[in-house]
Amino acid sequence: MGKIAFVFPGQGAATVGMGQALIASDPAAAAVWQVVTAALPQLDQLCREGPLERLVETVNAQPALFGVDCACLAALQAAGVAPDVVAGHSLGEYAALVAAEALDVAAGLSLVRARAEAMQRACARPGGMLAVSGLTAEQVEAIVAAWNGDAVLAVANYNAPGQTVISGDAAAIRAIAPAFEQAGARVTELVVGGAFHSPLMAPGEPEFWPALAAAPFRDARVPVVSNTTARPATDAEVLRAALRSQMTGSVRWQQSVETLLALGVDTFVEVGPGRTLLGLIRRTVPREARVRLLNVEDPPSLERTVAALRG
């Protein structure tokens, strides 16, 4: 029998209403959400009612998503389901650390708040992100490397075969888009607050590092596959160090999924709003591989996933 991986979505999954049906119906999820909203009361109304433009601001979206991810996790754990290994996409790595018991919810929330505030201030320089579909990562890297000028451009996310995201100065993001289109790609400018996972986030790192150094990490109960290394680890200081470079480093999600498969995972459970990660996993898993793709974001999906894992 294969292993179960819990995977956690990141900031782009934030939507009005996310997690609220599960929080309203599941005591374990509600208890976690109470911890989050006791520290950040404004998140309760923002998640329930919006407006979306305020919810998706980095300073709100990151703690809100972390809280919803952890609430969904608590409901799944209360149903008796546990992972063999965990991973999270960018911000989702913090919820993965909670799932692995390397951090508790309160400590994770404190870290995420510090991260969000540091990144929000680093967004003072206009930046953006561009999703590039239909080219290999190597083709995207070559076009970015050949781009002339003083603008900052970097590969932010290696999401799946044929889907890569670049990040950098807002004007450069728009200017380079035709080069990808001429190479046969489809491009989509993402609605984000800044140039995440690029050198433009560097001003936020020194602000965030003291909070990271003080956080009470423990050795993880199950391996955590890090974004920046795509390697599993359980040692508390290795996990802490991986987060140190996450703000400016690339999210190696495709490589992380490949690592999970190599570890024997055949069941992926996306824990949190949406099914974006399951779509990326589906594109990464070899055609001949047989895997189960499940999710938990509301009462019906929780019921289906628990039934599937108990069957």
Which is more confidently placed, 11 or 163? 163
Q: Which CATH architecture has domain 3-122+200-310?
A: 3-Layer(aba) Sandwich (3.40)
* Tens-place pLDDT, residues 291-311: 999 999 999 999 999 999 987
**Identity of residue 212:** L
pLDDT at 182 over 80: yes
pLDDT at 271: 98
Domain residue spans in the chain?
3-122+200-310, 127-193
* Tens-place pLDDT, residues 15-39: 999 999 999 999 999 999 999 999 9
Tokens representing 147 are 């781009």
Q: Which of 210, 7, 228, 209 is nearest to 97 (CA)?
A: 7
Q: Per residue in 293-311, is it b (16+ CB within 10 Å) or e — as a string?
A: bbbbbbeebbeebbeebee
State the catalytic residues: 90, 197
Is residue 253 within 8 Å of 280, Cβ to Cβ? yes
pLDDT confidence bin for 191, thresholds 50/70/90: confident
Q: Can you identify the CATH homologous superfamily of domain 127-193?
A: Malonyl-CoA ACP transacylase, ACP-binding (3.30.70.250)
pTM: predicted TM-score of the whole model, two decimal places: 0.96
Q: Which of 40, 197, 210, 11 is nearest to 113 (CA)?
A: 40
pLDDT at 124 over 90: no
Is residue 253 within 8 Å of 227, Cβ to Cβ? yes
pLDDT at 117 over 70: yes
Tokens representing 298 are 């509301």
Is residue 192 within 8 Å of 129, Cβ to Cβ? yes
pLDDT at 1 over 80: no
pLDDT at 264 over 70: yes
Long-range contacts of 172-180 (CB under 8 A, 24+ apart): 172/147, 173/127, 173/128, 173/129, 173/130, 174/128, 175/151, 176/130, 176/143, 176/144, 176/147, 177/130, 179/143, 179/147, 180/130, 180/132, 180/135, 180/140, 180/143
